[in-house]
Structure 1
């Protein structure tokens, strides 16, 4: 386990950093996309946001919690939070188990592609089971890393 360190000298950890960074940035960008749809559709959650819009534009709107465009983006963002955080935590631990470099890279890469595909399938929307397949593939990858971490901890 000499190579299992949290260092850029560890190629597995370096790969993990790249892919974890991609999915975390994508998750952060979902907040901006939510804000974009809230402004575009004038679908604000709070009275103060509605009042701010009225002061700036003269447009009077009431708080809205059910705009379909906003809710689609929020659903995608919520799904990211539920899946990316476990991936990052388990991926970090998995990086320390000295896994086979090729398998580790495939775990990280497949998860990232699956999450990006899931977001495209969610936001556009693509017919099911597209989104479900993207979610399931990422979930299986995270679960696989989790099992590897637990197995390494038992030995």
Structure 2
């Protein structure tokens, strides 16, 4: 598999995963019948409240966690692709990160601990390994 193809698959899967969080937020809003924006409350004939329902807040925190992790990983991946490094190692980095982030979202939305922390750590260590690989192959070369 080419580096660019793997990068594209990774970016698309992660974008779809993040989109799923948006769907989860919307469903949680409708299920709770609580909306922060008055126009949304009117549209859905629901209650307007000063803050989101707990399930919506949880999904928002999962989204923020993605925003702290996914862009950094994708930037590092782009450097890897541009450098033309090992495709085999790249597939491993990408698959491990995708699986970890998907599992993290599932665990976050369903309040599953300690698995949420474990899969978060796996994704973070995968990103760290990718960084070290880039430093060795590009910076120190």
TM-score, length basis structure 2: 0.86
CA-to-aligned-CA distance 1:88-133 (integer Å, 9 cap, x gap): 111111122232222111000000110111111111222x221011
Q: Report the RMSD for the aligned CA atoms in angstroms.
A: 1.9
1:6-155 equivalence runs, <5 A: 11-54=2-45, 59=46, 61-126=47-112, 128-151=113-136, 152-155=138-141
1:154 Cα deviation after fit:
4.7
1:64 Cα deviation after fit:
4.2
Tell me the matched-pair count.
Answer: 140
Q: Conserved in 2, the CA contact under 8 Å of 1:73 and 1:123?
A: yes
Q: Which has the larger radius of gyration?
A: 1
Give the distance between the partners of 1:100 and 1:111, measured in 2 at CA. Answer: 17
Give the distance between the partners of 2:56 and 2:62, measured in 1 at CA. Answer: 10
1:73 Cα deviation after fit:
1.4
Gaps of 5+ in 2: none
Gaps of 5+ in 1: 1-9
TM-score, length basis structure 1: 0.79
From the two aligned structures, give the one with the greater helix fraction: 2
